[in-house]
Amino acid sequence: MSVKRQRATGRTAGGRTTGARAARTRVAGALAAAACAAALLPGTAWAAGDGGGYAFEDGAQPVQGAVSHLDAEQLRPGKTYRDTIKKDGKLYYRVDLDAKQNAYVSVVAVPKTGGKVAYGDGIKVSMRDGSNNRCGSQEADFGSAEFARPITAYADRTIDPDSSTCREQGAYYVLVERDSAKESDPADWELEIRFRTEPGLTKAGPTALPSNWPSATPAPPTGGPQRRDGGAGFGAATSLKQGEWRTDIRPGQTLIYRVPVDWGQQLFVRAELGSSPASDEYLSHALALSLENQVLGHVSRDTMTYSGDPATMALQPERPVAYENRFSGNYSTSAVRFAGWYYVSATLSPAVAKEYGDKPLPLTLRVNLTGQPKDGPAYDGPAGSFAVTDDDRDAAASGQSGPQAARSDTMKVVGVAGIGAGGVLLLGLGAWWLLARRSTA
């Protein structure tokens, strides 16, 4: 009889309720699941690189360049890859193109931090069709600022209505070449490789550049500096809008920012290094400033001298962003060929540490955007990243990096994720309370 009663009431010999225990177990599982669900919701925390080295894009896939184009691995549109290149090395990659889209393969070359580089050291990236006709190429080197830092170059296949080459559908080959002086560091350089495609046009647009364009530098932005620290890689670049932006930069460190530049707009960038009481030694090329377009094609660069007093520099003005710029023979003009994110990188020479110590120096970037945004070209498909969106402007205002902005977009899509997580927890607690009441009863 007692056994039957125990089974009927669910009570054990010790007086504990097995039904309540099971209920609590179920609730604990539900609460654990709710906690896990909340933990998996998109967040806003993101850890940037420590500035001591380059931060490669998350999810970049390994690829191995070939010494012969016939053995080249295929790159996929929209993907980012990683590889290494030896001193004076040559590597081939393959891309399959249609007869409509423009195509771009960019390479970020990342030498070993602190490694020795010479004036002409650098990379050359070229794209060729199956008949070995060169479609487009670009070279990048360290110039007079002979210290190791990330440098970029790209190769393109541009559909040119006045040219019959490089227009066919089929396999194209990208050749990456490294040049290094005899006395330079022989260590391998790491490569970050991107393959991007731009939609074709529904109808041909203008190919001739206007003879006149606004080249006067605007007055610096007002309102005072705001704090915004740069990213350690192009994939982690900190977003900026027009304004005055303050950070600190250590010798040997590279900081990377991005600015959304729409069709018809011009980007102007100035940099200022703050004073240092540590020394008054004159250093040429103390700061290197570089500008890249949204597919990481190189646009322009300059360097700044420093002697302990405040020092300023400005990148040369470029034409307003326009589709027809791509048909210019000037590589800087050709590079401002589409709207999107433009990247600004600043590197402080390691030589600064010897004279001024290894502490950071104050750095201010002054960014101007002039010109009213215009309609883009008549693409025959979605513009994708070759446009500036309201979300891009929001990211620039808030300072979000690309990964942060992507997570923010995810939050917008789910909308009620935060409320949902709280709801799941409240439901779990409610279920626990009801089961506890039922067990007590």
Q: pLDDT digit string (tens) for 384-396?
A: 999 999 999 999 9
For the cut 90, the answer to whether the pLDDT of residue 342 exceeds it is yes
Residue type, 258: R
Whether 174 is in a domain gets the answer yes
Of 435 and 97, the one with more pLDDT: 97
Residue 207 sits in the same domain as residue 285: yes
DSSP 198-263: E--BSS----SPPS----PPPPPP-S--EE-PPBSSGGGPEE--SEEEEEEE-TT-EEEEEEEE-T
Report the alpha-carbon distance of residue 398 to residue 242 in Å, rounded: 12
Looking up residue 55, the CATH number of its domain turns out to be: 2.60.120.380
Q: Which band of pLDDT confidence, cut at 50, 70 and 90, is reported for residue 430? A: low
Closest residue by Cα to residue 269 from 279, 256, 280, 285: 256
Residue 393 sits in the same domain as residue 259: yes
Whether 267 is in a domain gets the answer yes
Instruction: Check: CB of residue 234 under 8 Å from CB of residue 403.
Output: no
For the cut 70, the answer to whether the pLDDT of residue 185 exceeds it is yes
Give the residue numbers spanning the domain of 170: 43-198
Residue 345 sits in the same domain as residue 222: yes
Report the alpha-carbon distance of residue 264 to residue 216 in Å, rounded: 15
Residue 309 sits in the same domain as residue 327: yes
Of 161 and 438, the one with more pLDDT: 161
Q: What is the dihedral of CA 17, 19, 20, 21, to 10 degrees?
A: 80
Report the alpha-carbon distance of residue 212 to residue 13 in Å, rounded: 96
For the cut 80, the answer to whether the pLDDT of residue 51 exceeds it is no
Q: What is the mean pLDDT of residues 224-240?
A: 97
Residue 161 sits in the same domain as residue 185: yes
Whether 37 is in a domain gets the answer no
| Last-in-domain residue among 198, 229, 245 | 198
Residue type, 310: P
Q: Which band of pLDDT confidence, cut at 50, 70 and 90, is reported for residue 204? A: confident
